[in-house]
């Protein structure tokens, strides 16, 4: 995961976001991870709206599901959080069967966001009904009781509903979950 975040950080610092981070696009040989399939990449500096149907649904950030293409490089971070969960648990975090079910699965686990967050997203859509019933969410920790607290915290911070509050790759690399690795990996 540290190597994956380093790859994402490198891309973002160089003005590119991947837009399709998922386990199938993560290649590992020996101790080296490589991110693959750059066919969906976009420039961070290009202007939204972007393609609406992007990223594999299970790894798609809420802003990709709920807006008409108004998302940013932070969508990659959401996807990395979903991949981290899947690596730890061996099953996907939000396996929605369609876009409506996808949002429902997100709300079931992390809860319905504050109305102010939904209002920000409403301004970037052509009329999707955002009247979601309030839900607390079961919590990620309930799904992975075996995981270290730092791991769960990192997933929450990468899978923050509001992209403005979501970690950057650089911030994720500095998270306490990777504390020991930072001294080992150059």
Residue-wise pLDDT for 18-64, tens only, equals: 989 999 999 999 999 999 998 787 777 777 656 655 667 899 999 98
Given CATH 3.30.70.360, say whether it is the number of domain 2-184.
no
The string over 42-68, giving b where at least 16 C-beta atoms fall within 10 Å of a residue's C-beta and e elsewhere, is beeeeeeebeeeebbbbbbbbbbbbbe
132: confidence class by pLDDT, cuts 50, 70, 90: confident
The answer to whether the pTM exceeds 0.85 is yes
CB 66 within 8 A of CB 128: yes
Work out the percent of the chain whose per-residue pLDDT is above 90: 67
The position carrying tokens 């594999």 is 56
Instruction: Annotate 101-137 with DSSP letters as a single string.
Output: HHHHHHHHHH-PPPHHHHHHHHTTSSS----PPP---
99: confidence class by pLDDT, cuts 50, 70, 90: confident
Query: What is the structure's pLDDT at 68?
Result: 79
Considering only the C-alpha atoms of the chain, give the largest distance between any 2 of them, rounded to a whole number of Å.
50
Average pLDDT, the chain: 89
The mean pLDDT of 110-138, rounded to a whole number, is 83
What residues are annotated to the active site? 20
Could you tell me the residue ranges of all domains in the chain? 2-184
For 13, 14, 47, the CA distances from 165, given in Å and listed in that order, are: 18, 21, 20
């Amino acid at each position: 995961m540290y190597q994956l975040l380093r790859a994402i950080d490198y891309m973002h610092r160089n003005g590119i976001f991947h837009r399709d981070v998922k386990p199938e696009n993560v290649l590992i040989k020996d101790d080296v991870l490589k991110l693959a399939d750059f066919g969906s990449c976009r420039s961070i500096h290009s202007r939204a709206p972007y393609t609406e149907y992007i990223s594999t649904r299970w790894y798609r950030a809420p802003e990709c599901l709920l807006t008409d293409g108004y998302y940013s490089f932070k969508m990659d971070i959401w996807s990395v959080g979903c991949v981290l969960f899947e690596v730890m648990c061996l099953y996907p975090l939000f396996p929605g069967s369609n876009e409506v079910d996808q949002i429902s699965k997100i709300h079931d686990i992390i809860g319905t966001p504050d109305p102010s967050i939904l209002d920000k997203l409403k301004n970037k859509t052509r009329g999707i009904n955002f009247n979601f019933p309030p839900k607390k969410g079961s919590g990620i920790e309930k799904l992975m009781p075996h995981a270290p607290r730092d791991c769960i915290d990192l997933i929450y911070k990468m899978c923050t509903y509001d992209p403005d509050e979501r970690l950057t790759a650089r911030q994720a690399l500095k998270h306490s979950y990777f504390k020991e690795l930072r001294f080992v990996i150059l």
